[in-house]
Structure 1
């Protein structure tokens, strides 16, 4: 969807940036720094927080932490500049599925909002006519947002490990071919939908085919190479439909979209939990309620976006195949043969929209910590009939997205926060998504600040006793000044004579 920018805008995006900064200043941004330097020779190099991930969550969290007085924040991202998050990589939908009015990373500052950004670029009528925010515009807005808050992102930075180093956290990275280690007081993992594991390729595919014969839809796909090929898609969600559309637009001979269900889901249950009460206080719900909600979302799932569904159904050579699970896959001389309950299907290439496996051990940044964090399967015993092995592998997070150590002596674990898909059971099905930021980011920030405060509890009283910031302009010879003032008062008794009221 192409929208033409305004030819002669009343204000530019740079003007809007200045207006947003003026609003922030009027609201007290940023708060005064309140963390004292650590008593170490390398204190200046120690970050208050390192945020792993420079996408929508990473930049919003960085902005909120800056607002609350943290000055030493680093944001690391493995992508190239401008390619943070999925928006210009494997996200292939035309528009967001989040309603345009449920975006909440602007902290109630109107000139910081995506609406004001969009109206500045395209006009008020364009926003009024808009049903959903275009994907590429959302990314452009996030880049502008990061610029407003002067958030510097270290790109091409692969995080290899997060581990303890004394009272701090060491983050090991590969940057420009060099292995480096950075120290931080806290770490936030804003690593997105696959932050709790890795994209899943079913074994019946990976064990039967050469890697060049299939792609996961949440990774790089060479769509040009699909021209003239018969493509099979497994899955029924947004990613399945978006990749099917891209394949046909690139010239694929045909696309068959197969899924196990007899019908596509029609209702999106995510909309039902996007209420202030649920999104703000979800972790206060009982373990049983949160577990059962997670099980419900696993079974109910959600439909593909309406626009993606309608676009795919209008395309020639697209075929929707419900009730078509893949039972067996094999490579034949001239085709990939897929066995289904209805018979054999033949393809030249497969696209797998099969989601994510929950497995903390496969995440490189969790190499040290993955077996030290409490899991739901270890903390909660499901009632009869509600066991779920996949949900049991999710980490059991505290009320602020912090990991909880299995061993209470491993206190460093609680200084690492998982603001990603790891929070699915503990904090709800999409608290870290766009519509959840308004409620979830403040909770995460409270957790980081709480941890920083508790870590320095022993120095609070000594710092308070040493605090000097005179409010009164009292000279050092205070007693002399007071004595002289009293003598002057004694010489002038009229000064202290009571005032007679009228009629007394």
Structure 2
């Protein structure tokens, strides 16, 4: 927006000078980013041949999910000249991912200086975006990034990279058309229209529950839902005012949900924690390095399992800020060493049966994580019987068994699913698992902020390679047909004429 226009708007609405300056500075950052992209020739020209199926143009890649991982995947593909792509997300614009929905922390856990999804572009970092609007002093005083501000940054990221996103679109199923093509049946909840998208590759950027859903103990499911929720559910915390609330679990989401209930006016909140003490050390943070980011995928299966089994066994502690957010309330309790063994309904409450006796509450929140359950993912119904999991190919040493790891998909080098039985579903290689469940195969590249750019680039390079190999005949034909000369024939003296001149000179 030109400065003159901003001044006119200022006069109309009496906007503060600081606001005008922040808008101007953000525009300057966007110009800087555009110049950097131009200098790097990003995005390069499109090189993937266009194709059609039954009169519809085939998309090179459909990305399911437009949260952080989906946006990074789309941006990384564009940076390699793959333009015929789209992200689809069932959420309204601005509500993609967990940040302003079920993520109930106040700030991110990741340190503010991490470059996250910036893909190596300084002007695309959160820091550049923040400083442009609030200044260097504000950046230096900032502790951790407020989660709503992170969402604002991702919205800007999507805008400045002109990423193609369709909101309010749900994928009902994916099915193979043939070995090299997939059909996605989708519904646009905004218009109510159903349609079929054809794609050469599909990326599942579907988050923490991307291959299943939330997990609660089996005994909970028989109790009416008015008495309980999972921590990832849409919870009416205002309804918990003056209520007795229990939160089962001790991770980050447990603390954040407990704190939200306390801040909403709950009469009391008990943290029901099976362990006798809270975990205190974040193991993977201690070895964070480019060595882990780049090298984890090169480990043997035995070593990958060893790293992850040790990390999961130690558990990740809740953030200190989140824990203090709970403990500062005098009506909160940490019931350590208390295992939940059952739950039943009373006329106006529920009773948790625990290793320390029966405990009565008005509402219980289960922060008990997620599990792989392909039956809950309609987009994978056609492929579920063919997907290879770690339990199909790897047997850990005695004492190192882990059900969560065993149910992880055993992925290929480009995050693609592999067949349990070779040859049983050739089109499965076209579906890429770019979410939390890829961790055992690739490390933490597709769920957390620190290394998401590395994950996006690895994914995009693999898809680019696959597309080129698949179109090799077309690319070779283009090579053969290419006839644009660099030399025009007037750059040198005619050899025959030159020889004749030499011969005449010798004769004379």
**TM-score, length of structure 2 as denominator length:** 0.90
SS of 1:102's equivalent in the other structure is coil
Residue 146 of structure 1 corresponds to 158
Give the whole-Å Cα distance in 2 for the aligned partners of 1:489 and 1:482.
14
Task: Using the TM superposition, name which of 157-166 and 462-471 deviates more.
Answer: 462-471
Residue 8 of structure 2 corresponds to none
TM-superposed CA distance for 1:313, in Å, is 0.7
Mark the runs of 5 or more structure 2 residues left unpaired by the alignment.
Answer: 1-15
1:305 corresponds, among 319, 342, 364, to 319
Residue 463 of structure 2 corresponds to 448
- Structure 1 residues 6 and 118: CA distance shift in structure 2, 3 A: farther
TM-superposed CA distance for 1:454, in Å, is 2.3
Give the whole-Å Cα distance in 1 for the aligned partners of 2:314 and 2:340.
20
Do the aligned residues in 2 keep the contact of 1:415 with 1:451 (CA within 8 Å)?
no
Q: Does 1:76 align with 2:88?
A: yes
Q: Does 1:179 align with 2:191?
A: no
Instruction: Report Cα offsets for 1:93-129 as digits up to 9, x if no partner.
Output: 1111011222332122211111010111211111112
Report 1:254-333 matches (<5 A).
254-333=268-347
Report 1:365-404 matches (<5 A).
365-404=379-418
Do the aligned residues in 1 keep the contact of 2:208 with 2:447 (CA within 8 Å)?
no
Number of equivalent positions: 486
Residue 12 of structure 1 corresponds to 25
Mark the runs of 5 or more structure 1 residues left unpaired by the alignment.
Answer: 498-504
**TM-score, length of structure 1 as denominator length:** 0.91
TM-superposed CA distance for 1:346, in Å, is 1.1
SS of 1:185's equivalent in the other structure is strand
TM-superposed CA distance for 1:432, in Å, is 3.0
Give the whole-Å Cα distance in 2 for the aligned partners of 1:5 and 1:314.
39
SS of 2:186's equivalent in the other structure is strand
- Structure 1 residues 169 and 324: CA distance shift in structure 2, 3 A: same
TM-superposed CA distance for 1:306, in Å, is 1.1
TM-superposed CA distance for 1:486, in Å, is 5.0
Give the whole-Å Cα distance in 2 for the aligned partners of 1:334 and 1:149.
52
2:265 corresponds, among 251, 263, 280, to 251
Q: Does 1:463 align with 2:478?
A: yes
Q: Does 1:214 align with 2:221?
A: no
TM-superposed CA distance for 1:429, in Å, is 4.6
1:47 corresponds, among 39, 59, 62, to 59
- Structure 1 residues 483 and 7: CA distance shift in structure 2, 3 A: closer
Give the whole-Å Cα distance in 2 for the aligned partners of 1:301 and 1:5.
48
- Structure 1 residues 240 and 482: CA distance shift in structure 2, 3 A: closer
Give the whole-Å Cα distance in 1 for the aligned partners of 2:234 and 2:456.
30
TM-superposed CA distance for 1:491, in Å, is 8.2
TM-superposed CA distance for 1:162, in Å, is 1.7
Residue 24 of structure 1 corresponds to 37
Residue 173 of structure 2 corresponds to 161
Do the aligned residues in 2 keep the contact of 1:231 with 1:348 (CA within 8 Å)?
yes
- Structure 1 residues 430 and 314: CA distance shift in structure 2, 3 A: farther
SS of 2:245's equivalent in the other structure is strand
TM-superposed CA distance for 1:383, in Å, is 2.2
TM-superposed CA distance for 1:333, in Å, is 2.1
- Structure 1 residues 201 and 485: CA distance shift in structure 2, 3 A: same
- Runs in 1 of length 4+ with deviation above 6 angstroms? 481-484, 490-494
Give the whole-Å Cα distance in 1 for the aligned partners of 2:449 and 2:147.
12
Q: Does 1:354 align with 2:364?
A: no
Do the aligned residues in 2 keep the contact of 1:261 with 1:322 (CA within 8 Å)?
yes
TM-superposed CA distance for 1:265, in Å, is 0.6
TM-superposed CA distance for 1:427, in Å, is 1.6
- Structure 1 residues 227 and 89: CA distance shift in structure 2, 3 A: same
Give the whole-Å Cα distance in 2 for the aligned partners of 1:482 and 1:443.
45
TM-superposed CA distance for 1:463, in Å, is 2.7
TM-superposed CA distance for 1:32, in Å, is 2.1
Task: Using the TM superposition, name which of 420-429 and 306-315 deviates more.
Answer: 420-429
SS of 2:292's equivalent in the other structure is helix
Do the aligned residues in 2 keep the contact of 1:236 with 1:304 (CA within 8 Å)?
yes
TM-superposed CA distance for 1:360, in Å, is 2.2
2:430 corresponds, among 415, 435, 439, to 415
Instruction: Report Cα offsets for 1:15-54 as digits up to 9, x if no partner.
Output: 32121111111112011222122376636x2111100000
Task: Using the TM superposition, name which of 10-19 and 178-187 deviates more.
Answer: 10-19
TM-superposed CA distance for 1:483, in Å, is 11
Instruction: Report Cα offsets for 1:433-468 as digits up to 9, x if no partner.
Output: 111213222111121112212222343432321223
Do the aligned residues in 1 keep the contact of 2:69 with 2:446 (CA within 8 Å)?
no
Do the aligned residues in 1 keep the contact of 2:415 with 2:434 (CA within 8 Å)?
yes
Q: Does 1:195 align with 2:225?
A: no
Residue 49 of structure 2 corresponds to 36
- Structure 1 residues 39 and 257: CA distance shift in structure 2, 3 A: closer
Residue 500 of structure 1 corresponds to none
Give the whole-Å Cα distance in 2 for the aligned partners of 1:468 and 1:225.
73
Residue 501 of structure 1 corresponds to none
Task: Using the TM superposition, name which of 216-225 and 295-304 deviates more.
Answer: 295-304
1:62 corresponds, among 60, 66, 74, to 74
Do the aligned residues in 1 keep the contact of 2:109 with 2:144 (CA within 8 Å)?
yes
